[in-house]
Amino acid sequence: TYALELFTAARDLDAVYVPIGMGSGICGLITVRDLLGLKTEIIGVVAENAPAFALSFEAGRPVPTPTARTFADGMACRDPQAEPLGIILRGAARIVRVSEDEIAEAIRVYYTATHNLAEGAGAGPLAALIKERERLGGKRVGLILSGGNIDMAAFREILAGRTPAV
């Protein structure tokens, strides 16, 4: 339902960045965008240490990985399923990989700039936008901040300027 709420409130977005775990969030955005007839680019985000969906997008078929070692556990997918991958292949513009350090920095930015507590997966879209800021300068962009379920020890590490070990 968040996809419908987002596109109802902001129909003229040029792009939306969304974290990918098992694919439900990005598939919902793609489906609602298409049902509303919008042209918004949907950009998936994965952790570099959990690249299964990025590898699958590039290969055009599911590509499992042996590990998914990221503190952004909401993006820790090792075995992408064919059904969501099919929707992603038909409707996503691209998938951006972000590092553990980039995710940690995005969590710090959310907390210091907006006082929002973002979990690793929730901060992934901001990390990707920061990484691609030159590409999307001057465009209207939405970010999916999917949750604030972060372990307190990891959050303390991040606020101290470090990246949690995985």
Residue 137 confidence (pLDDT) = 84
Say if residues 88 and 28 touch (Cβ distance below 8 Å). no
Q: CB count, 10 Å around CB of 62?
A: 17
Summary mean pLDDT of the chain: 96
Kindly give the residue spans of alpha helices, DSSP state H, lying in 22-166: 24-36, 52-59, 82-91, 100-109, 120-131, 152-159
Q: Each residue of 126-142: pLDDT tens digit?
A: 999 999 999 988 999 99
67: pLDDT strictly greater than 90 = yes
166: pLDDT strictly greater than 90 = no
Say if residues 16 and 71 touch (Cβ distance below 8 Å). no
Say if residues 166 and 47 touch (Cβ distance below 8 Å). no
